[in-house]
Structure 1
């Protein structure tokens, strides 16, 4: 496994095109793997995420089973004349060292959704969570199966079991931010001849976690969490606690 970081040159039109279309970014990410064919449904999952630190600092992160070649991205959205490109490192040594009880900072951009049924007898419909409280609940409900536990603040007071309180979320080392509604056209056309419109709601989670199941967390870090992975969702990364 490999973890790659690529700084995008926000002054270039190619970068603006990629940032405006998850479909285009997905294609650019996959183009870095010559042996990965778009028609291969059994190909290993490639996860990616865009982090916007500031207007001039935008980074693309990629987790993949193979080492990528992003020469084309440098030419389209980097600094070709500067001789700088991307950084790729082996991910497996880090993953193998994860142990229960470890504490890390984490970041995750995800597509928090749930299934609802508006009328009895109807099929359920996948619907996005749009409030930060519901988005936080989405993550907290998945933490155990994903191999971690979101840390609580040392001075936080636990709410009575089964009781919802306005400040319940303040107990966690968790911040939900950068909510976005992505809407773009896919290349394929529907029966009317119009391009298919795709709508994806995303949210970014920052916080601190404790490892509870190292093997499950390894799967989360390499296979992703949630839906819409082709559109920049699901990639969780860890960093040391300062």
Structure 2
């Protein structure tokens, strides 16, 4: 009886050790997979924090020489009819720079809205995290229960100025803007259609806008506002 108990304890001990080793190996593999690559010698690492966004069109300018030293522009224009969000996006908001002071320039999907972040100091062997105040929204337009593609305008909340233009997609598509409240307008004068929706953009989330078009609307040949930008 004593021998059976001793044998049971040994088995339990072996099982516990094996389980612990497996968990430690798994943790090590996970940590190793998430660790960024080492910083190259003589460089520092710039990392942009955009609230969960993995891709932005941005540039880095050396403040002393005013030279553009890096650019990354993976996002197509907001009016592109073929653009959509890929299901998997690798985080690409980082680069390696020589020590110095830089200005980071980020483009949103609003015309003439460029975010400039000056005085970003890069130190050899160190990481520099720079927050970028942007958020995402998406415009889902449907007809007869199916997504359709139409152009739209982005207005300021006071409805005084057109800030940008976009094209919806039959797939998932996000648009980038500073945090704030905007108005989305789909206007087709020939079809007597004029949809206006508020959208509140926040950092760290995607705000959806839903618009249902009448079944008879023919959106293939219309432009937003048809040249008329003032309500």
TM-score, normalised with respect to structure 2: 0.27
Larger radius of gyration: 2
More strand by share: 2
More helix by share: 1
